[in-house]
């Protein structure tokens, strides 16, 4: 039974946490123990809200009291909003209660900064330690690291959480100084770097022949971060370069992009009528291309074209700028080459390679290989035959792919029109582009 006072706090602190997008609960493989809960696939699944955000975790702030004044944040010190704070035990009780009733698969815990970064981090650690050691909770925990907290505390937090994240929020030092002047780039990147180094070190130890039989748990699902999109003037190219650098140098598992939602009046903030959701979507598509398709930021954008096309996805745009690389013959192309074909995703490319081991591919095989022919038709041949409904001419293909259909209001809206082409939507969610 949850106490009424805790429920009141929950209303405030769940509402306050909703602007953090970095809550996907995948990738953890916590060893099974005698405790309660599991991160294994039987217990964990993803749910997505209409705006694309993950909703399978109890996602709360420990408190929305904050000594900082980040301009874009509803919880900033200057705002007159209802405030609340959970005790560590209240969070444990809520988590266990919801978990045992199957409402949630885990906990996403963040907090405003109270007193100091160290004090806040200590309270967060106290909560997750209690959850693991006293309540024997073995489910998924995503814990926010507090910028500026002592590195020892950061590493302690990593022992209890499946995933940790420290939000960069703004994609450049100048923007951070303008909109979140109390946060320093170093206070975000140093802990991120230190966690990344430890994760890498652990990986190397695990590969050694004389590796220890057991290793202490250390954030098995890695670390992530979030960038706010559209609150500051950085281009998509700058954002993609930053993401590339974070994946490479900080060994981040995920960078999340969160379209800026205006919640405060402040002359330093842009006036937006709607959050830039299409831009957020393009960045996610491009992020997928960086992580799984072998693209670099510079291939997708350049100084002359620093922003993604609103009408076409980044992979098609790249293909249209590089017509000399197409058409690709599906019966002989390497896996890496297949991945570059619009409409062929990781799953399709693997299926093509597997099928080629037993037979030559025929055109009739393509649908069962989950190739999205609407996009792919212009970029391949099968047994030497081209199947596009227009010649391989970038302007003509662009025209075909952006042509209005009856009832369409704007070319941007079709991205979210689930009824028109569900294969597009499922491929966008699964990252098959
Ligand atoms: S640190 Fe900044 S972003 Fe975080 S809760 Fe406080 S004001 Fe909001």
Q: Which residues of 1-35 are buried (b: 16+ CB within 10 A; e: fewer)?
A: eeeeebeebbebbebbbbbbbbbbbbbbebeeeee
Alpha helices (H) in 219-332, listed in sequence order = 236-249, 277-292, 297-300, 314-321
What is the widest separation between alpha-carbon atoms in the chain? 70
pLDDT tens figures, 335-355: 999 999 999 999 999 999 999
CB proximity list for 96: less than 8 A, separation 6 or greater: 36, 131, 135, 137
Gap from CA of 146 to ligand 1 centroid (Å): 10
End-to-end Cα spacing for the chain: 46
**CB of 256 shorter than 6 A to ligand 1:** no
Which whole number is the average pLDDT over 321-335?
Answer: 97
Which whole number is the average pLDDT over 180-203?
Answer: 95
pLDDT tens figures, 23-67: 544 445 555 555 655 444 332 334 443 344 455 789 999 999 999
Ligand 1 pocket, mutate which of 73, 180, 260 (most atoms under 8 A from CB): 73
| pLDDT for res 19 | 72
**CB of 361 shorter than 6 A to ligand 1:** no
How far is residue 2 from each of residues 141, 327, 387, measured CA to CA in Å? 21, 61, 62
The span from the CA of 137 to the CA of 133, in Å, is 8
Q: Which H or E element spans position 402?
A: helix 394-402
CB proximity list for 242: less than 8 A, separation 6 or greater: 168, 171, 227
Ligand 1 pocket, mutate which of 63, 112, 145 (most atoms under 8 A from CB): 112
Gap from CA of 251 to ligand 1 centroid (Å): 25
Extended strands (E) in 4-158: 57-61, 106-110, 140-144
Q: What is the DSSP string of 165-218?
A: E---BSSSHHHHHHH-TTS-HHHHHHHHHHHHHHHHHHHHHHHSTT--S-----
Gap from CA of 113 to ligand 1 centroid (Å): 7
pLDDT tens figures, 241-270: 999 999 999 999 999 999 999 999 999 999
Gap from CA of 74 to ligand 1 centroid (Å): 8
> Phi first, then psi: what are they for 409, rounded to 5°?
-90, -45
| pLDDT for res 30 | 53
Q: What angle do CA 345, 346, 351 make, to 5 degrees?
A: 95
Closest ligand 1 atom to 73 CA? 8
Is pTM beyond 0.95? Reply is no
Report whether pLDDT(388) > 60: yes
Which whole number is the average pLDDT over 136-161?
Answer: 96
Q: Which of 20-29, 380-389, 422-431 has the lowest average pLDDT?
A: 422-431
Closest ligand 1 atom to 64 CA? 5
Which whole number is the average pLDDT over 226-252?
Answer: 96
Gap from CA of 337 to ligand 1 centroid (Å): 44
Name the DSSP class of 68.
-
The span from the CA of 159 to the CA of 157, in Å, is 5
Which whole number is the average pLDDT over 140-153?
Answer: 96
The residue count for the chain? 433
**CB of 70 shorter than 6 A to ligand 1:** yes
Residue 139 Cα to chain centre, angstroms: 20
Closest ligand 1 atom to 61 CA? 5
| Closest C-alpha residue for ligand 1 atom 5 | 112
Say if residues 123 and 116 touch (Cβ distance below 8 Å). no
Q: At what angle do helices 117-133 and 151-160 cross, to 10 degrees?
A: 20
Q: Which H or E element spans position 99?
A: helix 88-100
Write down the domain spans for the chain: 4-222, 314-430
Which whole number is the average pLDDT over 378-403?
Answer: 95
Gap from CA of 65 to ligand 1 centroid (Å): 9
Which whole number is the average pLDDT over 392-396?
Answer: 96
| Architecture of the domain spanning 4-222 | Alpha-Beta Barrel (3.20)
Q: At what angle do helices 394-402 and 314-321 cross, to 10 degrees?
A: 160
**CB of 113 shorter than 6 A to ligand 1:** yes
Looking at every residue in the chain, the average pLDDT score rounds to 87
pLDDT bin (cut points 50, 70, 90) of residue 411 is very low
| Closest C-alpha residue for ligand 1 atom 4 | 112
pLDDT bin (cut points 50, 70, 90) of residue 425 is very low
Omega before 426 within 30 of 0, i.e. cis:
no
| pLDDT for res 37 | 52
Say if residues 261 and 244 touch (Cβ distance below 8 Å). no
Say if residues 176 and 76 touch (Cβ distance below 8 Å). no
Report whether pLDDT(118) > 50: yes
| pLDDT for res 198 | 97
Q: Which H or E element spans position 382?
A: strand 380-382
Report whether pLDDT(328) > 90: yes
Starting at the edge strand that comes first in sequence, how are the strands of the sheet with 328-329 ordered?
Answer: 328-329, 380-382, 385-386
Task: Express as a percent the part of the chain with pLDDT over 90.
Answer: 73
| pLDDT for res 5 | 83
Ligand 1 pocket, mutate which of 12, 13, 17, 68 (most atoms under 8 A from CB): 68
């Amino acid at each position: 039974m949850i106490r009424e006072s805790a429920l009141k706090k929950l209303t405030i602190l769940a509402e306050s946490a909703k602007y953090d997008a970095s809550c996907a609960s995948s990738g953890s493989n916590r060893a099974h123990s005698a405790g309660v809960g599991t991160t294994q696939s039987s217990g964990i699944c993803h749910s997505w809200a209409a705006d694309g955000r993950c909703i399978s975790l109890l996602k709360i702030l420990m408190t929305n009291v904050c000594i900082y004044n980040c301009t874009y944040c509803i919880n900033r010190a200057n705002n007159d909003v209802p405030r609340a704070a959970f005790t560590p035990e209240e969070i444990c009780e809520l988590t266990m209660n919801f978990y045992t009733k199957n409402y949630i698969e885990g906990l996403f815990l963040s907090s405003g900064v109270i007193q100091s970064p160290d004090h806040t981090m200590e309270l967060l650690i106290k909560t997750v330690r209690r959850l693991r050691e006293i309540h024997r909770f073995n489910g998924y925990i995503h814990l926010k690291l507090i910028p500026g907290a002592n590195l020892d505390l950061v590493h302690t937090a990593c022992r209890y959480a499946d995933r940790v994240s420290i939000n960069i929020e703004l994609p450049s030092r100048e923007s951070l100084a303008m909109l979140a002047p109390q946060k320093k780039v170093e206070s975000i990147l140093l802990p991120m770097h230190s966690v990344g180094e430890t994760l890498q070190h652990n990986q190397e130890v695990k590969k050694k022949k004389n590796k220890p039989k057991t290793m202490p748990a250390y954030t098995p699902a890695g670390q992530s971060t979030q960038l706010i999109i559209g609150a500051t003037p950085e281009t998509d190219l700058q954002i993609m370069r930053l993401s590339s650098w974070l994946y490479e140098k900080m060994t981040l598992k995920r960078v999340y992009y969160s379209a800026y939602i205006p919640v405060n009046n402040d002359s330093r903030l842009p006036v937006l009528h709607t959050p830039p959701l299409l831009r957020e979507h393009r960045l996610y598509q491009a992020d997928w291309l960086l992580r799984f398709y072998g693209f670099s930021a510079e291939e997708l954008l350049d100084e002359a074209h620093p922003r993604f096309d609103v009408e076409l996805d980044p992979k098609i745009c790249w293909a249209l700028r590089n017509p000399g690389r197409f058409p690709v013959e599906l019966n002989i192309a390497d896996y890496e080459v297949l991945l570059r074909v619009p409409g062929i995703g990781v799953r399709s490319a693997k299926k093509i390679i597997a099928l080629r081991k037993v037979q030559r591919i025929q055109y009739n095989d393509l649908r069962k290989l989950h190739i999205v022919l609407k996009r792919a038709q212009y970029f391949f041949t099968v047994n030497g035959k081209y199947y596009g409904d227009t010649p391989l001419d970038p302007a003509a293909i662009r025209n075909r792919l952006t042509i209005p259909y009856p009832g369409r209001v704007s070319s941007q809206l079709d991205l979210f029109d689930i009824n028109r082409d569900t294969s597009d939507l499922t491929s966008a969610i699964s990252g098959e582009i």
